[in-house]
Structure 1
Amino acid sequence: MLVPVIAAVDGSAESFAAAMGAPPTPLRQWGRAAREAARRNRPLKLLHAWSWHPRQDGEPATAAQRHLARRCLRQAEERVQRTCPGVRVEEEQVEGPATAALLRAADEADLLVLGSRGLSGFTGFVVGSVALGVVARAARPVVLVRAEETAPDEHVPAADGHDSTRTPYRDVVLALDLNDPCDEVIEFAFEAARLRHARLHAVHAWQQPSAIALGPGDIGLVQVPQRADEWLGFMTAVLQVWREKYPEIEVAETVTEGRAQSVLVRATSGASLLVVGRRFTDRPAGPRTGPVAHAAIHHVGCPVAVVPHA
């Protein structure tokens, strides 16, 4: 049995209002999940998690909630079937806290897709506590996508400037940490580019060490162009084995001096996907997304895939 792509169906008041016949909210993240399932030749599971709350008389209000959840799932399925009619769709309702339910589902998923509103027309996401909790703890890759995204957003514009799905895909951008390059993250990015027949753009941000941080035996303040060349040579060496494994993928390499947040915002302008890593941690403070993934989620405008690794 093929492991599915799982899309979380939002149980918010807005989604329930849409399910009950109110003007629908943008629900296109399900279209993105369906396209991912089609590209990966996998089924799509629509998952709705809900928690019941007892009424004042002590009786659980589960019947109404289950009914609303079913309608919400059916609405999502209808939209998916219009977007990608060849994708096999499954539905599931689970009871319990949404974060815990989605984490359990992610354990059995090829990929988990979560929708979020954009902060503006350009960059960043409005990410709720459920999405952040899932991203910080999930054992499988999680993709955050704008709820208002459409299929043409993944493609370069047509020659006349209009949106199109017949043009090539935009770049897949890999945020590559050359201080600790991780195979899982790199492979996910190359595979994402292969599935899209897109170019892979690997990006590393580095910062010049301050004089205070240098020890007595350290080489002093090496010229910036020399340090950039050293980083670029290292990136080429790290990616060489992946170029050989994916010879059909065009790869662009960029190393830039600056803060990762600013570098990634510039690099992902016009990209179809950003891939970042998140390290598993057993720190007492609990799971964290890490500074680069956190910056990407809150400041990058394209969909973000967060890939966990050891």
Structure 2
Amino acid sequence: MPPPVIAGVDGSAESLAAAEWAARESVRRGRSLRLVHVWSWHPRQDGEPATAAQRLMARRALRQAGERIGRACPQVRFEEEQVEGPATAALVRAAAQADVLVLGSRGLSGFTGFLVGSVALGVVARAVRPVVLVPSAGKGAGVYLRAEPEEGGGRDVVLGLDLADPCDEVIEFAFEAARDRGSRLRAVHAWPPPAPFALGPGEIGLIEEPWRAAEWRDFMTAVLQPWCDKYPGVEVVETLIEGRAASPLIRAARAASLLVVGRRITQGPALARTGPVAHAVIHHAGCPVAVVPHE
């Protein structure tokens, strides 16, 4: 059986938005939907299991998420699951079983309920499958939620493309997201200004700036061409900017339905990290952010 779309829910506005987004995504992907609530986020020192109050809160959170899905996507059928924490470990385990894991996000303001900043960032840094962080309607979610899936192509899917390390998993996720939404794909690459003492003979940075930009654009087109051939129905817009990557991606996300960035998988929990670009867009982008792990 194909892996499901999984949404972590805790009853907060952010997690309810995540549940609705996940329901729509399950329809687009043709996957089943699973709602997961983790109880005993902060286990007591004496090891006491979840109390009746915790279980009541879990049932309430799952019921609220189900009601939200019923109003937004009445055709979607889903299953519910309660699992025991700690939160990061439980959600990382859930992600390993998922086609994509969807969590609620409040961006720079932090996270509510179990999704405190350290937990959400810990999940993103350790998950082996894509994780999507969805802001609540108060953060602009209403616009992109209304645009999907019925209105489709009104808002771009934005791909943060690292031409120094173009990764198939990240590019494919973005193309499939654009195809499933009937949206345009905007690929954004920010190329750093050359460091004169770090360049070798013949490197792009030695070329005058207009020619250097043309070299990057040709390289970008060559990287994307096989994917354009594979997904001929997806219109692609290429955007090249000199400078750091985070700022242009955050600007592009203002008019996007989804922002897709990559994260390199590192070995060992002590080395788990989101990377500077993913960290920045998670905190500042105004649309859902998909973080796709890759080797």
Taking structure 1 as the reference length, the TM-score comes to: 0.84
CA distances 1:195-237 after superposition (whole Å, capped 9, x unpaired): 0000011111001112232357767742111111101101111
Tell me whether 1:112 sits opposite 2:101 in the alignment.
yes
1:54–1:61 contact (8 Å) kept in structure 2: no
The structural deviation recorded for 1:54 is: 4.9
Give the aligned partner of residue 172 of structure 2: 187
Match of 2:143 among 141, 152, 170: 152
Code of the aligned partner of 1:244: D
Code of the aligned partner of 1:214: L
The structural deviation recorded for 1:277 is: 0.6
Match of 1:96 among 85, 96, 102: 85
Q: Higher helix fraction: Structure 1 or Structure 2?
A: 2
Counterparts of 1:254 and 1:76, CA distance in 2: 38
1:206–1:255 contact (8 Å) kept in structure 2: yes
Could you say what secondary structure the match of 1:211 adopts?
Answer: coil
Unaligned runs of 5+ in 1: 19-23, 157-162
Give the aligned partner of residue 269 of structure 1: 254
Q: Which has the larger radius of gyration?
A: 1
1:273–1:303 contact (8 Å) kept in structure 2: yes
Give the aligned partner of residue 211 of structure 2: 226
The structural deviation recorded for 1:40 is: 1.0
Match of 1:78 among 67, 70, 73: 67
Q: 1:133 to 1:169 in 2, by over 3 A?
A: same
Could you say what secondary structure the match of 1:2 adopts?
Answer: coil
Could you say what secondary structure the match of 1:113 adopts?
Answer: strand
CA distances 1:220-264 after superposition (whole Å, capped 9, x unpaired): 742111111101101111111111110111011111101111121
Number of residue pairs the alignment of both structures matches = 288
Counterparts of 1:25 and 1:211, CA distance in 2: 46
Tell me whether 1:131 sits opposite 2:120 in the alignment.
yes
Q: 1:243 to 1:59 in 2, by over 3 A?
A: closer
Greater shift in the superposed pair: 179-188 or 46-55:
46-55
Could you say what secondary structure the match of 2:197 adopts?
Answer: helix
Could you say what secondary structure the match of 2:60 adopts?
Answer: helix
The structural deviation recorded for 1:128 is: 1.2
The structural deviation recorded for 1:97 is: 0.5
Code of the aligned partner of 1:3: P
The structural deviation recorded for 1:167 is: 6.4
2:14–2:104 contact (8 Å) kept in structure 1: no
Counterparts of 1:94 and 1:49, CA distance in 2: 5
1:152–1:164 contact (8 Å) kept in structure 2: no
Tell me whether 1:39 sits opposite 2:28 in the alignment.
yes
Code of the aligned partner of 1:132: L
Code of the aligned partner of 1:71: R
Tell me whether 1:212 sits opposite 2:197 in the alignment.
yes
Give the aligned partner of residue 4 of structure 2: 4
Unaligned runs of 5+ in 2: none
1:6–1:113 contact (8 Å) kept in structure 2: yes
Percent of residue pairs bearing the same amino acid type: 65
Counterparts of 2:178 and 2:250, CA distance in 1: 19
Counterparts of 1:79 and 1:284, CA distance in 2: 35
Match of 2:239 among 254, 260, 267: 254
1:9–1:48 contact (8 Å) kept in structure 2: yes
Counterparts of 2:278 and 2:25, CA distance in 1: 21
CA distances 1:49-89 after superposition (whole Å, capped 9, x unpaired): 11274599x86452221122112111111111111011111
Counterparts of 1:110 and 1:59, CA distance in 2: 33
Could you say what secondary structure the match of 2:263 adopts?
Answer: strand
1:155–1:167 contact (8 Å) kept in structure 2: no
Match runs of 1:280-291 below 5 Å: 280-282=265-267, 285-291=270-276
Taking structure 2 as the reference length, the TM-score comes to: 0.88
